[in-house]
Structure 1
Amino acid sequence: MRVSRLHDPFLRGQLAIAALFLSLGFQYATWAARIPAVKSGLDLGAAEVGVLLMAAGVGAAVSFPLVAWLMRRLGSRRLALLSQLGLALLLLALAAAPNYPLALLVMCADGVLVGCLNVAMNAQGAALETRFERNTMARLHATFSAGSLLAALLASGMTAATGSVAAHFGVAVALLAVLGVCARTGLLDDEPAAAPETSGPKRERRRRSLPSRVTLWMCGAMVFGTVAEGAMNDWSALYLEDVAEASAELAPLGIAVVSGMMVVARLFADGWRGRWGDGRVVLVGSAVAGTGLAAALIGGGVAPALAGFACMG
């Protein structure tokens, strides 16, 4: 007897975890799309905006030892729900930040919670695949990009309706609360990992070796890919408004275009990998992204910028 899709435990878990991925993409793109307004409200220069964005990256980088400890203490389910709630509340804190130092503190905390949710939700996705022996990670990551797309479209609409960042972020927090409730109903239960036993024979010391050339190339590709994606999310709105002279309503569409194309690519990526192989997909994708963005920057203007952002996505 076939299990009804409504009561399919795999589907229920997949939708709950997808709500987390959607939340992270939505929260991230929400504040990124309003960077021009935050810059204007706090009277920041370009260098100060760069430091503000770097604060989120620093918070994410230093969070990993904390994330490992929290995963052992709380488990992925509780950590995911708590960090998703915290990220929603930080939007309100950023909207209310009266000065630059407090905004830096909020962004650093945002990076820490992003690291927590990122690890916890991916752990949930991996556990779902293992438990049911079915693939789902590519679609979950497509949901992250869909969240960014929805956030950018909401930002464009809210900017046209009102210039209030607090009103925009208030609506976003309400939507994130709904996603948190949806996630809670279907996440996989897990127990915090037990501390390793200290008694017994000593474990064999692991041999250490230098990373291979292939590993170093992969690390480089990941670094530059992360820089490129971060530049699109963090700076595309400012580029469109300050350089391409787009209106405030059009500025968030840079993130929307990138995220929309990332959704398409992630939905079809597994098929491309099977047909052409991982290496060719990486090389062709990188060439399209770099060539398209370079042509957009050389051409100038709103339409070429959006076309280049689409190539990057």
Structure 2
Amino acid sequence: METNKLQRVALSTYFFLSGLCFATWASRIPTIKDNFGLNDAQLGTILLVMPISALIGTVASGWLVSKFDSRDPLVIAFIFFALSLIGISYVNTTLLLMVLLASFSIFMRVLNVAMNAQSITLQKTYHKKIIGSFHGLWSIGGVFGVLFSTLMVKAEVSMGTHFSIIAVITILGSIAIYQNLLTNDKSVTGNKLIFGKPDTFILYLGMLIFFASICEGGMFDWSGIYFKEVVKEDVFTYGYLLFMICMAISRFFIDRLLDRLGMSKMYIFSSILIATGILSAVLLPQFWTALIGFCLVGIGVSPIFPMTYMLAGKSQKYSPGMAISIVGTYSIVGMFIGPPLIGYLSHAFGLQKAFLIIMLCGLMFIPISKLFFKNLKQEV
């Protein structure tokens, strides 16, 4: 097999394992909420730990990918990411839970920057777009994670056993495929953060990622609780599962759709789908209408991160790794605000009304993307 194809398979495996681990954690949030007897506001406060910790991961990842080949921090981060997942399932105090969530979030941030830096470098060896397929495999990993979680919930398997199985698979897989990752991808220029007037190219991309992270983060952290407490479905993973399936399938068609529609139209299309899906789930919170709504949201959010990271890699000011790290900071701020905000709004007004924040954030893609592409034309 050609070298770049081996590298693509290896990197695809890492994207898959990352999605598998993240969905494993996110799909069991309702279990954690029940185990610790948390209300929505308390859960929102605990979820704040993850974006705050991710800021540390952002600083570390930007430095690591500028000093080393990205595969080295990638595999190390994956191992500690998986070990943190095990720890989350066995803690019995909220303090220890927050410590393990912080660790989980820091290493997830490092591996995300390293993976996306590798994907942009590998893209340069292909004539066709391939970045969308990597994010599709992340979502496929998420689908398998939610499917396995659904089986574990129905079989009443302990969360400790469940998380340990996934962690072992992740550690063994990440070590086994390590040798086939890209090497010598350390950038020699554009690795320093430049202070002063904000770069509008990065600023607009960051704002798109900010609102996308609120949409995705809200669905990741609260869709299971929505199905359990609003839809009144005992197997609460169904909504999250369909959301992940639709997002995964859509991401495998992103590269083709971008060639036909272009990025500017895709941002608008995504915005409309997210708004329609949330309205369906909020106004008609029955099983099938909520499922269809979550499906539309999954399709709508699917292109945003791949498209935006693809654009970030074209920065004239920063290296791909540094550009992704900076844009990713906006994602962390979105995660900092979004899921906890939904928790506080839910505690005050109910989860149905709180979900409207996802719709409002989805609609923001339209004006921001228009500003970005208008500015891009002016620069060209």
Q: Which residue of 2 aligns with 1:101?
A: 95
Compute the TM-score of the two structures, normalised by the length of structure 1.
0.87
Q: Which residue of 1 aligns with 2:350?
A: none
Percent identical pairs in the alignment equals: 24
Q: Which residue of 2 aligns with 1:86?
A: 80
Q: Which residue of 2 aligns with 1:240?
A: 227
Q: Which of 54, 58, 65 is residue 64 of structure 1 equivalent to?
A: 58
Q: Which residue of 1 aligns with 2:49?
A: 55
Tell me how far 1:181 sits from its aligned partner.
Answer: 3.3
- 3-state SS of paired residue (1:75): coil
Tell me how far 1:163 sits from its aligned partner.
Answer: 3.9
Change (3 A) 1:54 1:208: closer
Change (3 A) 1:132 1:224: closer
Change (3 A) 1:268 1:171: same
Tell me how far 1:136 sits from its aligned partner.
Answer: 2.1
Tell me how far 1:269 sits from its aligned partner.
Answer: 1.6
- 3-state SS of paired residue (1:59): helix
| Alignment gaps of 5+ in structure 2 | 299-380
Q: 1:2-23 CA distances to partner (integer Å, 9 max, x unpaired)?
A: xxxxx22122111110111111
Q: Which residue of 2 aligns with 1:30?
A: 24
| Alignment gaps of 5+ in structure 1 | 1-6, 197-205
Does residue 1:285 correspond to 2:279, yes or no? Answer: no
Change (3 A) 1:173 1:216: closer
Quick one: distance in 2 between partners of 1:207 and 1:81? 31
Q: Which residue of 2 aligns with 1:254?
A: 239
Instruction: Tell which deviates more after alignment, 297-306 or 137-146.
Output: 297-306
Quick one: distance in 1 between partners of 2:189 and 2:274? 45
Greater C-alpha Rg = 1
Q: 1:241-280 CA distances to partner (integer Å, 9 max, x unpaired)?
A: 1221111xx3122222111111222111222222222222
Quick one: distance in 2 between partners of 1:71 and 1:272? 31
Q: Which residue of 2 aligns with 1:126?
A: 120
Q: 1:169-194 CA distances to partner (integer Å, 9 max, x unpaired)?
A: 12211221342134313112237667
- 3-state SS of paired residue (1:185): helix
Compute the TM-score of the two structures, normalised by the length of structure 2.
0.72
Quick one: distance in 1 between partners of 2:189 and 2:289? 55
Q: How do residues 82-231 of structure 1 correspond to structure 2 at under 5 angstroms?
A: 82-131=76-125, 135-190=129-184, 208-210=196-198, 212=200, 218-231=205-218
Change (3 A) 1:190 1:134: farther
Does residue 1:41 correspond to 2:35, yes or no? Answer: yes
* CA RMSD, Structure 1 to Structure 2 (Å): 2.3
- 3-state SS of paired residue (2:233): coil
Tell me how far 1:208 sits from its aligned partner.
Answer: 4.9
Instruction: Tell which deviates more after alignment, 64-73 or 103-112.
Output: 64-73
Q: 1:214-265 CA distances to partner (integer Å, 9 max, x unpaired)?
A: 8765543322211011111111011111221111xx3122222111111222
Quick one: distance in 2 between partners of 1:245 and 1:207? 50
Quick one: distance in 2 between partners of 1:216 and 1:71? 21
Q: 1:33-77 CA distances to partner (integer Å, 9 max, x unpaired)?
A: 001111111222211211222211111123222112222444311
